[in-house]
């Protein structure tokens, strides 16, 4: 039974490739689901349930089918977008584009410089000592402890702006003639979240970046020259080696020699494949979770209730009602169901299907202002594989800024 998602998404990949006969972002997105589904099989074969953030075995046929349906719906706009040509930006908007580049790069540098001391301390400490600190900053932005001088940098460095920075890095390499400083700055901005999570020995931001890179490389692949592909391949080897080393180091420090008998190799399988079983656990045993909008609509919740959303408190409250662990990777859909129930879950996908139909019927070419919507979709996909991707006030405001860029680059022609 656990093989159902793997078989389904593998069959989908063969169907899409045979139909289009070229590699694209859609194939990359499906391949991530194939990898996750395969690791879920390994978890079952090695009986890793109950460890590494995996709930006890909750696999059942209805939930596995729902898992496949959920991700098929999310893949629909990605499949359509992957076939479209991209329109380059209007030359009259080039100054506005470079202003945006500058804001993103400067904000990223400020955030890194502001965290240098913490990063230094993290690097000289045994990374295992940081394990209990992993969630310490998740609710800082709502408790009055945030540095308001860093307001703009904080917003720009939150999802989905690092994904936008990576998109523009590929865009510059493919369509623009820019010097290495601009390109290096945007590449740095794309990985800033992974750099900052060194402080808490977090691994997720590293994986987000790698997934973003994989999807965006696949999106631009058909537009690239063979020379550019080779150059980017070298970049992948260098940066991939560095982030891979960081990921493995953190993993070994967390699990090797553990007094619970856990090991690093099995933890990687658990990390990569727990999404399937944890998704099933939510829909099987979390139907009595309390209705609350704090995680899905944090800023709206603050305005309506005056209460600040805190993720650790949110998890604790849910787990007082349900048996399964919910502070785990259960995909964005399970988190919507946990917080808003069947009503919220079905409403979200009805809204998503309507948006997908609009894209399919109205988008015949990717106009430049579509970029900001595409980037948001990519960030939603890569982070939604794990959990709800848009938690926090900074992220909410970042989304508002992102959608505002659609207006500036569609309607404002001169600055």
pLDDT in tens, 64-110: 999 999 999 999 999 999 989 999 998 889 999 999 999 999 999 99
For residue range 348-386, list pLDDT tens digits in order.
999 999 999 999 999 999 999 999 999 999 999 999 999
State residue 140's pLDDT score.
47
Its domain, for residue 67, covers 4-411
For residue range 233-289, list pLDDT tens digits in order.
887 788 777 766 766 666 666 655 554 556 777 888 888 999 999 999 999 999 889
Q: Which residues contact 327 (CB under 8 A, 6 or more apart)?
A: 315, 319
State residue 134's pLDDT score.
44
Contact 15, 1 (CB under 8 A): no
Mean pLDDT of the chain: 87
State residue 304's pLDDT score.
83
Phi (first) and psi of residue 366, to 5 degrees: -80, 100
Structurally, how many domains does the chain consist of? 1
For residue range 333-348, list pLDDT tens digits in order.
999 999 999 999 999 9
Provide the residue count of the chain.
415
State residue 22's pLDDT score.
86
State residue 406's pLDDT score.
93
* Whole-angstrom distance, CA of residue 250 vs CA of residue 207: 13
Q: Work out the angle at residue 385's Cα, subtended by the Cα atoms of residues 383 and 391, and round it to the nearest 5 degrees.
A: 40
State residue 117's pLDDT score.
74
Contact 325, 55 (CB under 8 A): yes
For residue range 138-185, list pLDDT tens digits in order.
444 444 445 677 889 999 999 999 999 999 999 999 999 899 999 999
């Amino acid at each position: 039974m656990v093989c159902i998602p793997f078989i389904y998404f593998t069959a989908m990949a063969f169907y899409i490739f045979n139909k289009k006969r070229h590699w694209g972002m859609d194939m990359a997105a499906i391949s991530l689901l194939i990898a996750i589904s395969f690791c879920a099989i390994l978890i079952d074969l090695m009986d890793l349930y109950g460890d590494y953030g995996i709930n006890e075995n909750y696999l059942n046929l209805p939930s596995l089918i729902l898992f496949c349906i959920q991700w098929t719906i999310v893949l629909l706009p990605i499949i359509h977008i992957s076939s479209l040509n991209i329109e380059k930006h209007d030359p009259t908007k080039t100054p506005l584009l470079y202003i945006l580049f500058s804001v993103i790069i400067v904000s990223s540098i400020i955030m890194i410089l502001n965290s240098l001391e913490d990063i230094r301390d993290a690097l000289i400490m045994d990374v295992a000592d940081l394990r209990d600190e992993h969630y310490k900053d998740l609710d800082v932005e709502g408790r009055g402890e945030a540095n308001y001088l860093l307001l703009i940098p904080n917003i720009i460095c939150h999802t989905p702006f690092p994904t936008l920075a990576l998109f523009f890095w590929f865009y510059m390499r493919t369509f623009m003639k820019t010097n290495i400083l601009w390109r290096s700055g945007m590449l740095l901005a794309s990985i800033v979240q992974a750099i900052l999570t060194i402080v808490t020995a977090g691994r997720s931001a590293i994986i987000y970046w790698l997934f973003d890179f994989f999807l965006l490389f696949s999106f631009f692949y058909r537009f690239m020259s063979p020379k550019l592909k080779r150059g980017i391949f070298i970049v992948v080897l260098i940066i991939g080696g560095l982030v891979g080393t960081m990921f493995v180091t953190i993993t070994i420090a967390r699990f090797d020699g553990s007094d619970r008998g856990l090991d690093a190799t099995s933890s990687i399988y658990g990390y990569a494949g727990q999404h399937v079983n944890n998704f099933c656990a939510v829909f099987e045993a979390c139907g009595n979770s309390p209705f609350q909008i704090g995680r899905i609509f944090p800023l709206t919740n603050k305005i309506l209730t005056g209460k600040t959303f805190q993720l650790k408190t949110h998890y604790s409250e849910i787990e007082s009602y349900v048996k399964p662990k919910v502070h785990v990777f259960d995909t964005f859909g399970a988190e919507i169901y946990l917080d808003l129930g069947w009503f919220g879950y079905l409403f979200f996908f009805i809204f998503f299907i309507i948006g997908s139909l609009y894209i399919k019927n109205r988008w015949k070419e990717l106009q430049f202002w579509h970029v900001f919507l595409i980037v948001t979709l990519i960030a939603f996909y890569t982070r939604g594989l794990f959990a709800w991707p848009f938690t926090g006030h900074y992220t909410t405001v970042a989304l508002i800024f992102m959608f505002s860029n659609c207006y500036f680059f569609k309607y404002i022609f001169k600055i």
